[in-house]
Chain A
Amino acid sequence: MTEIGMYGQQETRQRVRPRPAWDYLGIALLGFGLWVLLVESNSFYSSVLATILIWTIATSGLNIIAGLGGYPSLVQGAFYGIGAYGSALAMKWGQPFWAACIEAVLAAGILGLIVGLVFSRTRGQYFAIGTMFTGLVVSLVLSNWQSLTNGLLGINVEFGFGSIDQLNVVIPAAAAFSLMLVRFVSRRRLGWRLLTILEDEDLAEHIGVPTARTKLTGFVLSACVGAVAGVLIAQYNGTISPDLFDYYVGFVMFVALSVGGAGRVLGPLLGSAFIVGTPDLLNLSSGIGLLLAGIIFVVVIIVIPGGFMSAIDAVMAAASRSVRR
């Protein structure tokens, strides 16, 4: 079997398929390394890394519908927000933490189902615009429904874990699991089907792919994973406010995915590290940070359309050629 080229990858690239177990083991080791980095860094770097890892989860979710399926969803920030607010509110109303997590993820999944039913009939820029407006509606609700969300002031989040150490284990573990999930999905029937939709949706129907159902499944899965990230950011921050989940967050997540490498397992990690990490480490204000993200996006899309992962592929290929010589 040959590896199939994904979004923006060099078309003629072929590799022998690695044994899946090694991939999962590699991701697990990566997660372990990130955990060590998280607990050994000082509090500033640790919090930057935690945010990067939580964004990795959210963008890995996005990777399913946008990376594998090629549907440019700009609503991932809303699912992230629903995960955060949903879990925080459910706990405020007396639910135990585990139940609050499940309810928040379910809520995002249901919204994903509704949005998917409406917008999976549209393609390309219309899908992007439709999902972006959904994100706008959610962010408006979060900032204006005073009695529910306390508006712009935000709400305090009850800490659900036993200790901060537990949370520091859960965040890198969840990030690693989200990477493994994309790796898993991409090699299963759902992944094949999403990839055929990315390549040629009409032809996909003609080889028997139920395209509408496939897109819906992918979209709901993306939403649920996005909500998990939201639960974790709420737990990590201890307080949440609508500006964390503004409508453009979904767009920035899409940028992070594209910059890292859409459809690639490690793309979300690289993209999040760059898009979230750069402004944080340079201590830029959020406006300048966004501007920087926009510039990075344009430059990367022009110079390396497949994102950082495709640049890494090119470097590895050149290295292996020079070794063989």
Chain B
Amino acid sequence: MTEFLEVEGASKTFGGVRAVDGMDIKLAEGQICGLIGPNGSGKTTLLGLLSGTYRPDRGTIKLRGQRLDGLSTHRTVQQGVARTFQTSRLFFRWPLGANLAAAAAARLLTSTGDDADGGQEKLLALVGLAGRGDVVCSSLSNAEQRLAMLAVALATRPHLLLLDEPAVGMSPAETAALGQVIQRIRGELGVTVLIVEHNMHFMMGLADRIVAMNAGRKLAEGTPAEIRGNPDVIAAYLGS
């Protein structure tokens, strides 16, 4: 039985710094997995390797048995991997609906950017932005922009969704709502989610499993409760 996502020995060096150093990760389909670790532990770089932003120096990445490592970014997206970013990134001068249409058109899902089946409105409702499709992205609030980024990623119809600190700058209430949105994405669309996030409280309620990283390597792996009690993880975060 092939794993949904299988990463073996993935490594990436930036000018002598081993940002990711031989990481192994396995994900089952439909899981919500958290990726935690101190600043500079390689979480975002690992996300970049999975999303095709970077190519690994060594190691393999397989999605449903298909090799992803070495593919260009857009080919990786076409294989069903979408990501969001730490800072809000959208086509800010465009209405949100046009952002979604562009994402759908880019994936060859439509040829003209028309929204024939009303898929846009469903996606917007799913992330809690129903009726906001006509709003220009630069006039959305921070929290709305972060949800909009989720909707754009989903418009490419991914199997695997990579979220890089999705709750940055959100209030506790907005963060709680985001957790429900991510649950719905998994529940209604069956998308597997990998989240990089510092907010442990947020992760505890959301993730099925957590992988902790330090210095580019895997430090620990387990259920949220196991990770919270793990002495290595505590030492890495608080300093021994």
B138 near A11 with CB under 8 A, answer yes
Contact of B106 among A188, A192, A200 (CB under 8 A): A192
Cα–Cα, bound, A209→B156 (Å): 10
When the two chains form their complex, are residues A1 and B114 in contact, meaning their CB atoms are under 8 A apart? Answer: yes
Number of A-B pairs whose CB atoms are under 8 Å? 94
Which of B72, B73, B95, B111 lies in contact with A188, CB distance below 8 A?
B111
Q: Are A207 and B98 in contact (CB under 8 A)?
A: no
Q: Knowing A1-B115, A2-B95 touch, does A208 contact B78 (C-beta < 8 A)? A: yes
> Chain B interface: which size bin?
35 or more
Contacts of B45 in A (CB 8 A): none
Mask, B32-68, CB within 8 Å of A = 1, is: 0000000000000000000101000000000000000
Q: Are B134 and A207 in contact (CB under 8 A)?
A: no
B75 → A minimal CB distance (Å):
8
Q: Is B77 an interface residue (CB 8 A)?
A: yes
Contact digits for B178-200, partner A, Cβ 8 Å, 1 yes 0 no: 00000000000000000000000
State in angstroms the CA–CA spacing of A192 and B105 once bound together: 7
Out of B53, B107, B113, which one reaches A208, CB within 8 Å?
B107
Asked whether, in the complex, the Cβ of A192 is within 8 Å of the Cβ of B102, the reply is yes
Q: Is B94 an interface residue (CB 8 A)?
A: yes
Q: Which residues of B contact A9 (CB under 8 A)?
A: 93
Q: Does B18 interact with chain A (Cβ within 8 Å)? A: no
B110-132: CB near A (< 8 Å → 1, else 0) gives 11111100000000000000000
Report yes or no: B136 in contact with A11, Cβ–Cβ below 8 A. Answer: yes
Number of A residues whose C-beta is below 8 Å from B? 26
B112 pairs with A189, CB closer than 8 A? yes
| Known contacts A189-B112, A206-B51, A210-B74, A4 near B94 by CB under 8 Å | yes
Of B74, B75, B111, B153, most buried by chain A (CB within 10 Å of CB) is B74
Most buried by B among A1, A14, A189, A204: A1
Residues of B within 8 A of A1 (CB): 97-98, 101, 113-115
Q: In the complex the two chains form, is B74's CB within 8 Å of A209's CB?
A: yes
Residue pair B114, A12 in contact (C-beta under 8 Å)? no
In the bound assembly, the distance between CA atoms of A211 and B155 in angstroms comes to: 18
If A206-B77, A207-B156, A208-B78 touch, whether A189 touches B111 (CB-CB below 8 Å) is yes
Closest residue to A212 on the B side, CB-wise? Answer: B72
Q: Are B74 and A205 closer than 8 Å at their CB atoms?
A: yes
Task: Kindly list chain B residues whose C-beta atoms are within 8 Å of the C-beta of A196.
Answer: 91, 102, 106
Q: Which residue of B lies closest to A187 (CB)?
A: B112
B177 surroundings in chain A (CB, below 8 A): none
Q: Which residues of A contact B223 (CB under 8 A)?
A: none
Q: Most B CB atoms within 10 A — which of A4, A204, A209?
A: A4
- Give Cα distance in the complex from A63 to B47, angstroms: 37
Flag whether B161 is at the interface (Cβ < 8 A). Answer: no
Does B10 touch A at the CB level, under 8 Å? no
Q: Does A158 contact B (CB under 8 A)?
A: no
Nearest neighbor of B97 in chain A, beta-carbon distance: A2
Which residue from chain B places its CB closest to the CB of A195 in the assembled complex?
B102
- Report yes or no: B94 in contact with A208, Cβ–Cβ below 8 A: no
Q: Is B108 an interface residue (CB 8 A)?
A: yes
In the assembled complex, B26 has its CB within 8 A of some CB on chain A: no
User: Which residues of A (83-126) have their CB < 8 Å from a CB of B?
Assistant: none
Measured between alpha carbons, how far is A206 from B73 in the docked complex, in Å? 6
B106 x A193 contact (CB < 8 A): yes
CA distance A193 to B74 in the complex (A): 12
Question: Shortest CB–CB separation between residue A261 and chain B, in angstroms?
Answer: 16
A200–B108 alpha-carbon span in the complex (Å): 19
Q: Does A294 contact B (CB under 8 A)?
A: no
Decide yes or no whether A203 CB sits under 8 A from chain B.
yes
A62 to chain B, nearest CB (A): 22
Nearest opposing residue in chain B for A191, CB measure:
B113
Q: Top 5 closest A-B pairs, CB basis? A: A208-B77, A205-B73, A199-B91, A208-B106, A207-B103
A-B contact pairs, 5 of them (CB 8 A): A189-B105, A189-B113, A205-B74, A207-B152, A208-B156
A residues at B contact (CB < 8 Å): 1-2, 4-5, 9, 11-12, 14, 187-189, 192-193, 195-196, 199-200, 203-211
